[in-house]
Amino acid sequence: MSIRRLPEHLVNRIAAGEVVERPASALKELVENAIDAGAARISVSLAQGGIGRVEVADDGCGMAPAEIALALERHATSKLPTDSLDEVVTLGFRGEALPSIASVARVTIESRVRGADGWSRIVDNGRLAAEGPAALPPGTRVTVENLFAKVPARRKFLRSERSEYAACLDVVKRLAMARPDLGFMLEHEGRRTLHVQPGEDRPARVAALTDRELAGNSLAVDYARGPVRLGGVAGLPTFNRGVADHQYLFVNGRPVKDRLLIGAVRAAYQDLLARDRHPVLALFIDLPGDEVDVNVHPAKTEVRFRDPGGIRGLIVGGLRHALDEAGHRSAQRPNAAALGNWQAEPVRSPSFPPRAPGQASWLAPGQEALVRDRQENYAAPLQARAEPAIAAVPEAQSFPLGVARGQVAATYIVAEAEDGLVLVDQHAAHERLVLERMRRAMADGGVARQALLLPEVVELDEPACDRIEARLDELAELGLELERFGPRAILVRATPAMLGAGDVGGLVTDLADELASFDSALSLKEKIDLVAATMACHGSVRAGRILSVAEMNALLREMEVTPHSGQCNHGRPTWVKLAHGDIEKLFGRK
Ligand SMILES: Nc1ncnc2c1ncn2[C@@H]1O[C@H](COP(=O)(O)OP(=O)(O)OP(=O)(O)O)[C@@H](O)[C@H]1O
Ligand SMILES: [Mg+2]
């Protein structure tokens, strides 16, 4: 077999196979080039999801005619002034993108250096098609048309225009997030779908590109370890999503999709979110060039860290730090849809038939008293206890979660805060408090117990008793003092003091069930969230239990000082606030 050197056009097409997978990957290269060219504003225009046309115009440094020709050659780059790959400060550096794209599409490059004339060069599937003078403002415009039109094997793999467009939008979003100092515009089929002005700050830009509500539901992250820095915006756990698509990660200003980073984010939110929920966040890692290799992936979307463990620690530590600081905060406001429902709920009076015109009353004489009586009874089952809370407790002003004013459906605490009305899910909140208290107590050597006046006997089947018996020491550390009591019973001597007088029998029965599903090799400490949830379910503050005003206020005060009390163990909010402004809106006063 004889070896031969491949012709340039074939080499480029092979490279294109790695660099240009779909319109969005060509778009990414073009926008990165515009950023590297020092542009302040970058405009993108797409047709047919980018399959028909991708056009990127910038006001950057531009290229002279000879440079345009060189730019289309393989391994020609202006971005590696020295031969070191450790000092890359630009997004591009391989000198491959333009020749690769031009080998599988029709590419027009028009460019003008300030103070000189413009020039254009058209390359169609690797062959020069035309060149000549061009009129345009200083900067560069690159147009890619009919991607893969002559490479049917690749074209087949393109998805619908709609999903190719979605991928293009994602590319622009990520790059726009990385560079809030630049302006970006995107239009598809003549319709403008993204527009951000230059000179925004990072949180504003992230919110503009993800969700406006993120601004009020996120934390600033700013954390450093040695020369490595973690910054950005992390959504509160309660502001979660069903997919992980809303996580934007950047390394030295480069958008990356990296398993290590995604795993670290998951670990940081682990016990604040249910398994199938994902936080919304944008994280920026900045580190010295020799700590990271950006040249491990042709499209440069993956990186390799010299110290992956350290980076993971930085992310988990930085996020936990920010989330701990958040304390009791959760998504502060009910989401717009929930508020809308409230607003839309028609006010209905108890069903009276419509009154005929001219009819003075619906009722026959004597029936009115009956109705009055019924109406009074309608009110009775609503357990909105309005105890005289006002006199008994201090002023609302001093507490973020306010002062308890009553309880609804024996499940929600209604509190008045300085800036609005707070609703607390008492059970979810208590479950969280129990978990956090247990964590703290375990760290301090064990959970305080409270002896029962009379030990309680709980009857269980034999395997359940065996499972409990095998864990007696561990359960004692968690505040439960139990003893085997014959083949089919357990004696309860003490329960965790933090639970109050709860349902002891139910607790032990449920724990025995829970233990059946645990791997016996795992310590209960590793499953403490499940144990705590089970305990909380049988504690004194359950859903459906009437609380005294003092109990309610005690719960609110504890939430205020407990980390992560803003969400339950499954990431749902434990409280929401209806701000005064929202209340006014509901009544049409605003
Ligand atoms: N929009 C632009 N404005 C000014 N110069 C540009 C522009 N786009 C490309 N160039 C020039 O063309 C060269 C080649 O671009 P190309 O994208 O092919 O390679 P690169 O950006 O150097 O590296 P990579 O392959 O990693 O993207 C660049 O190094 C740059 O000098
Ligand atoms: Mg490039």
What are 486-525's pLDDT values in tens digits? 888 999 999 888 777 677 888 888 888 888 777 666 777 7
Q: Which residue has the higher pLDDT, 154 or 123?
A: 123
- Give the per-residue pLDDT at 327: 66
Among the ranges 171-175, 317-321, 340-344, 563-567, which has the highest mean pLDDT value? 171-175
Q: Is the CB of residue 22 less than 8 Å from the CB of residue 161?
A: no
- Give the per-residue pLDDT at 339: 61
**Which residue out of 77, 90, 120, 144 has the highest number of ligand 1 atoms within 8 Å of its CB and is therefore the one to mutate?**
77
Q: Which residue owns the Cα nearest ligand 1 atom 11? A: 71
CA distance 253 to 89: 9
SS3 75: coil
Closest ligand to C-alpha of residue 102 is 1
- Give the per-residue pLDDT at 337: 57
Residue 370 has pLDDT above 70, yes or no: no
Q: Which residue owns the Cα nearest ligand 1 atom 28? A: 77
Taking CA 550 as the corner, what is the angle to CA 545 and CA 556, rounded to the nearest 5 degrees?
Answer: 80
Give DSSP secondary structure letters for 504-516: HHHHHHHHHHHHH
Residue 412 has pLDDT above 70, yes or no: yes
Mean pLDDT of the chain: 82
**Ligand 2: centre distance to CA 319 (Å):** 33
Q: Are strands 183-188 and 118-124 parallel, antiparallel or unpaired?
A: unpaired
CA distance 272 to 432: 10
**Ligand 1: centre distance to CA 319 (Å):** 36
Q: How confident is the model at residue 334 (pLDDT cuts 50, 70, 90)?
A: low
CA distance 55 to 45: 5
Q: How confident is the model at residue 136 (pLDDT cuts 50, 70, 90)?
A: very high
Residue 359 has pLDDT above 50, yes or no: no
Mean pLDDT is lowest, of 310-314, 388-392, 451-455, 534-538, for 388-392
Mean pLDDT is lowest, of 148-152, 257-261, 311-315, 363-367, for 363-367
**Ligand 1: centre distance to CA 297 (Å):** 17
What percentage of the chain carries pLDDT values higher than 70?
86
- Give the per-residue pLDDT at 562: 84
Tell me the pTM: 0.66
Task: Estimate to the nearest angstrom the gap between the alpha carbon of 45 and the chain centroid.
Answer: 29
Atom in ligand 1 nearest the alpha carbon of residue 33: 8
Atom in ligand 1 nearest the alpha carbon of residue 139: 3
Q: Is the CB of residue 493 less than 8 Å from the CB of residue 483?
A: yes
Q: Which residue has the higher pLDDT, 540 or 101?
A: 101
CA distance 507 to 456: 12
Closest ligand to C-alpha of residue 110 is 1
Q: Which residue has the higher pLDDT, 523 or 44?
A: 44
Q: Which residue owns the Cα nearest ligand 1 atom 29? A: 77
pLDDT 10s digits, 387-407 = 444 444 455 457 888 899 988
pLDDT 10s digits, 186-231 = 999 999 999 999 999 988 899 899 887 888 788 889 999 889 999 9
**Which residue out of 29, 33, 120, 144 has the highest number of ligand 1 atoms within 8 Å of its CB and is therefore the one to mutate?**
33
**Ligand 2: centre distance to CA 109 (Å):** 13
**Ligand 1: centre distance to CA 296 (Å):** 19
Average pLDDT over residues 40-49: 97
Closest ligand to C-alpha of residue 298 is 1
What the block records as the tokens of 534 is 């089970």
Mean pLDDT is lowest, of 16-20, 93-97, 149-153, 327-331, for 327-331
Q: What angle separates helix 202-209 from helix 161-178, to the nearest 10 degrees?
A: 170
**Ligand 1: centre distance to CA 284 (Å):** 24
Mean pLDDT is lowest, of 74-88, 282-296, 337-351, for 337-351
- Give the per-residue pLDDT at 330: 57
Q: CB under 6 Å to ligand 1: residues?
A: 29, 33-34, 37, 58, 60-63, 71, 77-79, 92-98, 140
DSSP 567: B
Residue 295 has pLDDT above 60, yes or no: yes
Residue 36 has pLDDT above 60, yes or no: yes
Atom in ligand 1 nearest the alpha carbon of residue 80: 22
Mean pLDDT is lowest, of 28-37, 238-247, 346-355, for 346-355
- Contacts with 167 (C-beta within 8 Å, 6 or more apart), sequence order: 22, 23, 24
- Give the per-residue pLDDT at 385: 41
Atom in ligand 1 nearest the alpha carbon of residue 60: 3
Q: How confident is the model at residue 346 (pLDDT cuts 50, 70, 90)?
A: very low
**Ligand 1: centre distance to CA 235 (Å):** 35
**Ligand 2: centre distance to CA 68 (Å):** 13
Closest ligand to C-alpha of residue 101 is 1
* 147 closest CA partner among 13, 255, 11, 10: 13
Q: Which residue owns the Cα nearest ligand 1 atom 8? A: 33
Closest ligand to C-alpha of residue 56 is 1
- Give, for 70, the enclosing helix (H) or strand (E): helix 65-71
- Give the per-residue pLDDT at 47: 97
Q: Which residue has the higher pLDDT, 345 or 339?
A: 339
Q: Which residue owns the Cα nearest ligand 1 atom 12? A: 71
Q: What are the distances in angstroms from CA 182 to CA 167, 199, 221, 256?
A: 21, 6, 22, 19
Residue 461 has pLDDT above 50, yes or no: yes
**Ligand 1: centre distance to CA 190 (Å):** 27
Q: How confident is the model at residue 380 (pLDDT cuts 50, 70, 90)?
A: very low
Average pLDDT over residues 247-265: 90
CA distance 522 to 525: 8
Q: How confident is the model at residue 351 (pLDDT cuts 50, 70, 90)?
A: very low
Average pLDDT over residues 421-430: 88
**Ligand 2: centre distance to CA 107 (Å):** 14
Q: Which residue has the higher pLDDT, 14 or 146?
A: 146
Q: Which residue has the higher pLDDT, 230 or 368?
A: 230
Q: Which residue has the higher pLDDT, 371 or 195?
A: 195
- Give the per-residue pLDDT at 335: 57
Q: Which residue owns the Cα nearest ligand 1 atom 27? A: 92
Mean pLDDT is lowest, of 77-86, 388-397, 432-441, for 388-397
